[in-house]
Structure 1
């Protein structure tokens, strides 16, 4: 396993990879979410490379050792998919399987939607494919739904503010500890975040001050996150959220398009994101007709590839074997 920098079109990406010395090894890209890094996939990089795959987990645009454009418009879904297309080419490959978690899941789904010639199979963790709706930009819809339900305000709407990153950067260790705690399966249900906050209460203030690092995360691993976000900040990561309405504007050409490549979905039973991302089990097959499996992992929370590494590894390896057969 090694870390290196790869220059693609207009972007320098830092990647964690293994299996690169294996001749003709199939490529698997692992795309992280918020607030994570390529290192979030260490267990999968190790297991999948041991099974004969060339596995690459980049720090995504705005994160870690990868370039961090300042303009929020540079974080559209088209940019993010383009980064992965460029990365596959820079790695000397002509196809790959793409796996995404959290924000990385929408990127992975759209990789398969936009470039099925290049991305031959897709797995989404925690966040199902969410097709473009015709009723207008999503932030207004999210705000209206929260207001009607008396839920306060969704953190995604709070992140739209140009200075939203400042509160997160004031104490990166506290920010990360609270976020990991609030979305973890081991955290008592009453202390998990729903993603919604009362008016006037910040995201961090809505999370228990007694928050601890999850039991699956070592102190050394946590320190890697703290060091990376202390150096790189949270502005780039929040730009992914600030671009959601732009994404809606840019993707009219994808209206009603379906993902035709073999697909897998994995979600934790106790993942708080299900409060606002929706239960994929109900309709994902309609939008991904070649969905191989949709798995709900009992008792797991949001950080599923780290919380339940062995289970996720097994599911991914089974899917890679199945997807390989279906792609032929």
Structure 2
């Protein structure tokens, strides 16, 4: 049975869900999600002999939402993971992340390898710091229309998504899924500056089979405090680039697994296909070549739970 509680970490309170006993596995969600995006992983991983913990990360769900935009840098987020492991009475853990949770997981392994037994990222590949700040790069490449730049503008996406959270989340989930009609066609996620993002997204009459009305209820409830905390992560993208300068050229050396869908828009971001193809050479700690899931969109562990669970269990046991 999944249990819920609050823990104090680095001066804030985090809500977490947990199940099972054994080596600790920390599951980190992305945007716009919550701990619930991992609910299909709890039982299988616990049954495989692991202690599974999924927090609402800072700015999400029932966890604290600091007002300061500067409280959402990658160093804060890695600090939350390290603090959470300690608060749970452990010295080390396996760290698994999806979407924004993947950079947090990868950077935890990069910055604090002593805390990480093994690391897995879903959708977003391992970090290789670019030559220029990411927001500035995308601003120049796409004239400010790339969704990172849209999300980074104070109050704009907050208001658009907050006007009708349930509809916004329904459209967002479908848009980025493998079920969307044009998924996997290589188009970049660009925003109409006049109409916003949601206006261009289809509103499905029927949800994908893997995402129920109950899932949508849970997701909508998790954004009852609004979207600003979650969007503040994007507002720190260039700051993160500045803060990680000391790790320029560093490579994750903990045992690693990368999984992505062939209909996911993220692996098609500029430069990412080339990075993925080179990962086995760039990252010797990669446990196996990147695992590509056919027909899978962005919501990797929700769209393909059986395949993701099997890959995670095999990887975690190989690292144990």
TM-score, normalised with respect to structure 2: 0.94
Q: Structure 2: how far apart are the matches of 1:197 and 1:8?
A: 36
Change (3 A) 1:210 1:42: closer
Q: Structure 2: how far apart are the matches of 1:196 and 1:112?
A: 31
Mean alpha-carbon deviation: is it higher for 250-259 or for 188-197? 188-197
Give the CA deviation at 1:211: 6.1
Q: Structure 1: how far apart are the matches of 2:77 and 2:243?
A: 13
Give the CA deviation at 1:8: 1.7
**Aligned pair partner of 2:111 in 114, 122, 131:** 114
Deviations 1:251-292 (A, max 9, x none): 111110010011000000100122316124312234422101
Q: Report what 1:216 is aligned to.
A: 210
Change (3 A) 1:263 1:211: farther
Q: Structure 1: how far apart are the matches of 2:294 and 2:151?
A: 30
- Structure 2 unmatched runs, 5+: none
| Aligned residues: CA RMSD | 1.7
Q: Is the 8 A contact 2:170 2:203 kept in 1?
A: no
Q: Structure 1: how far apart are the matches of 2:244 and 2:72?
A: 14
1:86 aligns with 2:79: no
Q: Is the 8 A contact 2:73 2:236 kept in 1?
A: yes
Q: How many residues align?
A: 314
Give the CA deviation at 1:218: 1.4
Give the CA deviation at 1:66: 0.5
1:299 aligns with 2:295: yes
Q: Structure 1: how far apart are the matches of 2:67 and 2:287?
A: 39
Q: Is the 8 A contact 1:124 1:265 kept in 2?
A: yes
Q: Report what 2:243 is aligned to.
A: 250
Q: Structure 1: how far apart are the matches of 2:283 and 2:107?
A: 12
Q: Report what 1:11 is aligned to.
A: 12
Deviations 1:10-68 (A, max 9, x none): 0111001001xx3xx10000000000000110111111011110000000010001000
Q: Does the residue aligned with 2:312 lie in a helix, a strand or coil?
A: helix
Q: Report what 1:2 is aligned to.
A: 3
Q: Report what 1:285 is aligned to.
A: 280
**Aligned pair partner of 1:268 in 261, 268, 272:** 261
Q: Report what 1:162 is aligned to.
A: 154
**Aligned pair partner of 2:173 in 165, 176, 180:** 180
Q: Does the residue aligned with 2:269 lie in a helix, a strand or coil?
A: helix
After the TM superposition, list the runs of 4 or more consecutive aligned residues in structure 1 that deviate by more than 3 angstroms.
190-194, 209-212
Q: Is the 8 A contact 1:191 1:207 kept in 2?
A: no
Q: Report what 1:143 is aligned to.
A: 139
Q: Is the 8 A contact 1:186 1:215 kept in 2?
A: no
